Copies of this chain bind each other. A is one copy, B any other.
């Protein structure tokens, strides 16, 4: 779920597609970053320490960017509702990452030692709770009950998606539909909510709210599918650095779902041994990669992502053309282009 991508030849193209959007909301993001910094403050020193460990490690902050962008697309002109909701969205995301570390028993997060390793599971759980509380306080300050409704509903859907993933975890028989239900919850819902609150703030009609929500939801699905592909090194022939985390953790992602169904009995036995039983030996990651390539599982996952990307694009059709709309369409290209 992290935003940090592996370095491969597609990266610079991908960055270029996002740069317009980033430039258009740069002022607002400056204020979001200031807000994030001030709202992680606490007399209890461990809280800013843990929160900033994760927040300072960066990532593109795609979710708050989307809130600012959809608010601007819809002509929001209030003082700081967009900034506060964008910061809330980032806090919700950070809280999820902290709690995920405990759930996944991860050792690394965004290229740094996971907070749970440095400060313990307790700190990850509690600082996550603190950030969630702060997120809701900022939403309350904005005062839009509809935005509160959207974001609190998202909080429950995200948790449901993660529990669903627990239940599906290590089950190689997971179907594509089941997997989609998981990522709609755990990833796409927050993208959807982040985009939906933009037109809500601007008090635009339901149709525009639904359009922005749909854009975010489909973009989020595409984003997660490409993340899944990147975890196996992208669609380039060779395995790069920093790949294989999902494989080692036994995570069932769409490339696996496709390869398992398309595979021979021998290959299925391989997936069952490595992912389900967790018996991973040297060379298994390479074998996994070979099987995935044999069945075009990575390429076809990118194809699936393209489909959701196209839906995201079409969702914005009802908005008049302009630089912000163009930049949001560019963000779709960014999500997909990361795979190459």
Contact = CB atoms under 8 A, between A and B. Distances in A.
A163 B121 contact: no
A95 to B, nearest CB: 8
A47 B132 CA distance: 20
B133 A163 contact: no
A130 interface: yes
Chain A facing B: main interface SS: helix
A228 interface: no
A166 B103 contact: no
Copies in the complex: 2
B126 A155 contact: no
Contacts of A133: 152-159
A98 B43 CA distance: 25
Report which residue of A120, A149, A156, A158 has the largest number of chain B beta carbons within 10 angstroms of its beta carbon.
A156
A187 B125 CA distance: 17
Interface stretch (A1-9, A137-145, A201-209, A237-245): A137-145
A298 to B, nearest CB: 28
A231 interface: no
Contacts of A43: 160
Given A46-B163, A102-B121, A143 B140 contact: no
A99 B163 contact: no
Contacts of A120: 166
Contact of A103 (B42, B44, B121, B134): B121
Interface string A166-179: 11000000000000
Interface string A117-138: 0001111011101101110110
A137 B166 contact: no
Nearest to A47: B163
A162 interface: yes
A148 interface: yes
B159 A127 contact: yes
Contacts of A140: 145, 148-149, 152
Given A129-B155, A163-B127, A122 B103 contact: yes
Contact of A44 (B44, B129, B167): B167
28 contacts: A42-B160, A42-B163, A43-B160, A44-B160, A44-B163, A46-B163, A46-B167, A47-B160, A99-B129, A102-B102, A102-B121, A102-B122, A102-B125, A103-B125, A103-B126, A120-B166, A121-B121, A123-B166, A125-B125, A129-B159, A132-B132, A133-B156, A136-B148, A136-B155, A139-B152, A140-B145, A141-B149, A148-B148
